Chain A
């Protein structure tokens, strides 16, 4: 946690270390490097923040105990209490003895400066806005309600916040798939906003990852063409529908060297493995927070441990529900063999007690543990890719683990207004 400054040299470098690992697959090992930040070995993941905080985790614990490679934050989380358009993140200083420090997303989220930050307009997953996007703005959901965000305001926010990676504004409808007519309009708007406002990046140290829209490629042909015209200004691809990746790369092989960031929010490690095979390099994973909120400790690893020889192995669960009464007196770590802070210092009986007493520390410990499990999963994936054993590991993972996480019987933490939109007749999560 040193200073918040960073210089403005264009900084992100992506290097493919090993490509086309198995025949016919786009799997690859890579390295994403930023000046002044931690280097990220890919495949890897970014943690999702809520209002700049990884839910339940204070910045010291992020530094000491969390193994995430970076954070994803949403501009719609940065608004001030008084509604303003555009949302102002760093308003002018009012206390002269504490001048505003050099701009950086770390000023805002207070995570260790070594962690790279991705900024996007909307949370992942985003709450659907009742009012659609227009030709000149998108609808965003802030803690004070729905507001609109123009591409100009977004660009100005990028210049202020200087994230390491920014996802340019895209026109995404609340329900997918859109009609062909709507898909064409999405492509047109996103194209215009990118060309008129976002290119080139307002700050050299911010790398733009161009969104690939979740519509058939022919319907976004013009937009993709714009991307190809600006090879030096587009540093990566942001995929809302990663299944398009193989045909996109077949169509435009010049895009292949760019890092590929998945924004489709897969909900299981099985889904992650499938997306990896399509060639995804990095993920933003909201499911980690959700599994922790459900009181479930993840128990999977990659490659899966070999079953004892000669036994017919049953499928193993992806996690255990620590709210289940069977853990009341268990002194076992949250997951056997785990060395994370939560497992090294505490046991299931405590986690169970905290969940059943609705003490906030329960979710904190689960977050520390679950992020450690996912970080280890990706480390295992990279190692297998290096050794050429990924396909075998992925096959055994698919067979060896159940398809979904256990639901989790515990009460969830209280949900806040900006996290969910209460609709008629539907009750808010938790006791809110």
Chain B
């Protein structure tokens, strides 16, 4: 542990708009603790990034989001391109100014929404062709256009436009084409990027579930030397075993002194296992979306507070939780009860807002706890306690997690 710390204090790497400092490495797994300094301040990794799709985190004020400790959140390029539109972003001076958020922003490329939200989107070498959701006129999202939009947004981290294919696609030829095209589009994105001094462009590793293809993509993209690297195309319905294999294969090939971002990952188990496999950053709409359905994420699992059993439960959403909602009034919190949420879930938006606050806090705190455990070199014990809280019986541990953790030296069943 001492060695890990001493080593870490000397290991950092910088590019024009990002400094990555490795603080500690787990001596058992591949988990790392680091500090990533971006144009709008430092953030501690590993971390979860909540998704403020349309420049607003589902009813929370930027001040409330800040209170969760969040210092890096997402905006979606596709949505901001439609509303408020690039001309407004330029006139206002970017998305930070638009939403009054003085911390970091990450934007996706817009490509994923094209494919997932729009029917009749077709991908050519030039870009993604689609019909405008406004008036149905044919439009084209090119790597150059995506970067131009993200330059207008002014995000601290921008993502390249990639050719996304569902990982479960059986078409190997198409998968290889998508992977290779993503590399070519990365080159076009780098060439189009106007502000490398104040915005970071991350590449996205593609290649589906084919580990060999993933490795080739890693090699080609690492050679482009972007300030950070994302693993993309996952969370599209693949088996969890396959997901872990892809993350594990990629992190082994990625340079140590760059942040590694697994896109679209959000269940607590996925976060903990991915951290063990050596990933640093995650984003997902699940915690905020599920909040609007009355679901609270807790260390003992997800509670649906709409259930009648919570109607007279005057305890906090989660015992011992430090979020603004769960903290008792005497400690400056709101002292929100399960009964309060039950009464208003899916009725008054204020109930959705308090659950959103709680769930975002939960995800951020989970990563803060993981980071502390890594620094203390107690990460394996953290992982064991995490699964122990979630599943009272060991035989209920998900086998994909047990298997994935075995590959990095943690055996959840025998210890």
**How far does the Cβ of A83 sit from chain B's closest Cβ, in whole Å?**
13
A271 part of interface (Cβ distance < 8 Å): no
Nearest Cβ on chain B to A76's Cβ, whole angstroms:
13
Q: Is A58 an interface position by the 8 A CB rule? A: yes
Query: Per-position contact with A for B325-355: 1 when CB-CB < 8 Å, else 0?
Result: 0000110111111001001100111111110
Check B98 against A349 for contact (C-beta < 8 Å): yes
Name which of B84-92, B224-232, B275-283, B295-303 contacts chain A. B84-92
Of the four ranges (under 10, 10 to 19, 20 to 34, 35 or more), the interface on chain A belongs to 35 or more
Q: Restricting to B305-339, which residues have a CB under 8 Å from any CB of A?
A: 308-309, 311-315, 324, 329-330, 332-337
The residue that A90 contacts in the complex, of B83, B308, B312, with Cβ under 8 A, is B312
CB proximity of B79 to chain A, nearest CB, Å: 8
* Of A94-102, A259-267, A305-313, A315-323, the one touching chain B: A94-102
Q: Would you give the shortest CB distance from A35 to chain B, in whole angstroms?
A: 18
Closest residue of chain A to B336 (Cβ to Cβ) is: A110
| B residues near A3, Cβ cutoff 8 Å | 329-330
Q: Does A80 contact B (CB under 8 A)?
A: yes
Identity of the chain A residue whose Cβ is nearest the Cβ of B334 in the assembled complex: A59
Q: Is B404 an interface residue (CB 8 A)?
A: no
C-alpha gap A410/B55 in the complex (Å): 18
Instruction: Specify which chain A residues have a CB less than 8 angstroms from the CB of B348 in the assembled complex.
Output: 50-53, 55, 416
* CB closest chain-A residue, reference B350: A53
* Residues of A close to B396: CB separation below 8 A: none
- A396 contacts chain B at the CB level, 8 A cutoff: no
Asked if B122 is at the interface (CB within 8 A of a chain A CB), the reply is: no
Residue of B nearest to A361 (CB): B56
Could you tell me which residues of chain B, from 46 to 87, have a CB within 8 Å of some CB in chain A? Answer: 54-64, 79, 83-84, 87
Q: In whole Å, how far is A127's beta carbon from the nearest beta carbon of chain B?
A: 15
Task: Scan residues 73-118 of chain A and give those whose CB is less than 8 A from a CB of chain B.
Answer: 78, 80-82, 90-95, 97-101, 107-110, 113
A356 CB-CB contact with B under 8 Å: yes
Query: Given the complex, which residues of A lie within 8 Å of B59, measured CB to CB?
Result: 56, 359-361, 364
Look across to chain A and name the residue whose beta carbon is closest to the beta carbon of B357. Answer: A58
Residues of A within 8 A of B332 (CB): 1
The answer to whether A143 has its CB under 8 Å from any CB of chain B is yes
Q: When the two chains form their complex, are residues B353 and A58 in contact, meaning their CB atoms are under 8 A apart?
A: yes
Does A136 lie at the interface of the complex (its beta carbon under 8 Å from any beta carbon of B)?
Answer: no
A81 pairs with B314, CB closer than 8 A: no
Rounded to whole angstroms, the CA-CA distance of A418 and B340 in the bound complex is 17
A59 to B337 CA separation, bound complex (whole angstroms):
12
Inter-subunit contact B351/A53 (CB<8 Å): yes
A272: chain B residues at CB < 8 Å are none
Interface contact A94-B312, CB-CB below 8 Å: yes
Docked pose: A113 CA to B332 CA in angstroms = 13
B residues near A363, Cβ cutoff 8 Å: 349
Chain A 307-343 interface 0/1 with B at a Cβ cutoff of 8 Å (1 = within):
0000000000000000000001101000000000100
Chain B positions within 8 Å of A101 at CB level? 314
Q: For the complex, what is the distance from the CA of A101 to the CA of B311, rounded to whole Å?
A: 14
Complex CA–CA separation, A38 to B54 (angstroms): 38
Partner of A360, one of B91, B99, B314, B353: B353
CA distance A53 to B355 in the complex (A): 14
- Inter-subunit contact B343/A51 (CB<8 Å): yes
- Cα A217 to Cα B298 in complex, Å, equals 59
Q: Counting CB contacts under 8 A, is A60 at the interface?
A: yes
What is the distance, in angstroms, from A355's C-beta to the closest C-beta of chain B? Answer: 10
**Residues A2 and B347 in contact in the complex (CB < 8 Å), given A98-B315, A328-B88:** no
Q: Determine whether B133 belongs to the interface, using a CB cutoff of 8 Å to chain A.
A: no
Most-contacted residue by chain A among B100, B333, B353 (CB, 10 A): B353
In this assembly, does A354 line the interface, its C-beta being within 8 Å of a C-beta of chain B? yes
Q: Mark A221-264, 1 if CB is under 8 A from B, else 0.
A: 00000000000000000000000000000000000000000000
The docked-state distance in angstroms from the alpha carbon of A91 to that of B309 is: 11
Tell me which of B312, B313, B333, B350 contacts A57 (CB under 8 A). Answer: B350
Q: Which residues of A contact B88 (CB under 8 A)?
A: 328-329, 349, 353
Judging by beta carbons under 8 Å apart, are B340 and A360 in contact?
no
Which residues of chain A come closer than 8 Å to B79, judged between CB atoms?
Answer: 357
How far is A134 from B87 in the complex, measured between Cα atoms in Å? 61
- Contact partner of B312 (CB less than 8 A), chosen from A58, A100, A418, is A100
Contacts of B329 in A (CB 8 A): 1-4, 113
Please, which residues of chain A bring their CB within 8 A of the CB of B84? 328, 349, 352-353, 356-357
Tell me the smallest distance from the CB of A94 to a CB of chain B, in Å. 5
Are B343 and A360 neighbours in the complex by a CB distance under 8 Å? no
Residues of B within 8 A of A4 (CB): 329
Separation of A418 and B344 alpha carbons in the complex (Å) = 12
With a cutoff of 8 Å between Cβ atoms, the chain B residues found around residue A46 in the complex are none
**Within B358-412, which residues are at the interface with A (CB < 8 Å)?**
none
Name the distance in Å between B348's Cβ and chain A's nearest Cβ.
Answer: 4
Q: Which residues of A contact B63 (CB under 8 A)?
A: 341, 345
B315 x A364 contact (CB < 8 A): no
A350 at the interface (CB under 8 A from B): yes
Please determine whether A110 and B337 come into contact, CB atoms closer than 8 angstroms.
yes
**A52: contacting residue among B57, B315, B343, CB under 8 A:** B343
A68 to chain B minimum Cβ distance, whole angstroms, is 14
Inter-chain CA distance A51–B346, complex, in Å, is 12
Name the distance in Å between A405's Cβ and chain B's nearest Cβ: 22
Chain B residues with Cβ below 8 Å from A81 are 308, 311
In the complex, the answer to whether B315 meets A95 with C-beta atoms within 8 Å is yes
Please state if B350 and A1 are interface contacts (CB–CB under 8 Å). Answer: no
A113 to B328, CA, bound (A): 13
Q: Mark A46-74, 1 if CB is under 8 A from B, else 0.
A: 00001111111111110000000000000
Residues of chain B contacted by A269 (CB below 8 angstroms):
none
Once the chains bind, are B55 and A353 in contact (CB under 8 Å)? yes
Chain B contacts for A92, CB-based, 8 A: 312
Q: Which residues of B are found within 8 Å of A98, using beta-carbon distances?
A: 313-315
**Separation of A413 and B349 alpha carbons in the complex (Å):** 10
Give the docked Cα–Cα distance between A431 and B239 (Å). Answer: 37
For chain A, residues 1 to 30, give those with C-beta under 8 angstroms from any C-beta of chain B.
1-4
| Residues of chain B contacted by A113 (CB below 8 angstroms) | 329
Residues of A that sit less than 8 Å from B by CB? 1-4, 50-61, 78, 80-82, 90-95, 97-101, 107-110, 113, 143, 328-329, 331, 341, 345-346, 349-350, 352-354, 356-357, 359-365, 413, 416, 418
A-B contact pairs, 16 of them (CB 8 A): A1-B333, A53-B348, A54-B350, A55-B350, A58-B353, A59-B336, A60-B64, A80-B311, A341-B61, A353-B84, A353-B88, A353-B98, A360-B56, A361-B58, A361-B59, A364-B59
Given contacts A60-B324, A349-B98, A359-B59, 13 further A-B contacts (CB under 8 A): A1-B333, A50-B348, A58-B64, A59-B354, A81-B311, A95-B313, A107-B337, A110-B334, A357-B56, A357-B83, A359-B54, A361-B59, A365-B61
Instruction: Give the 9 A-B CB pairs with smallest separation, nearest first.
Output: A98-B315, A1-B329, A360-B59, A329-B91, A53-B350, A359-B56, A53-B348, A361-B56, A357-B54
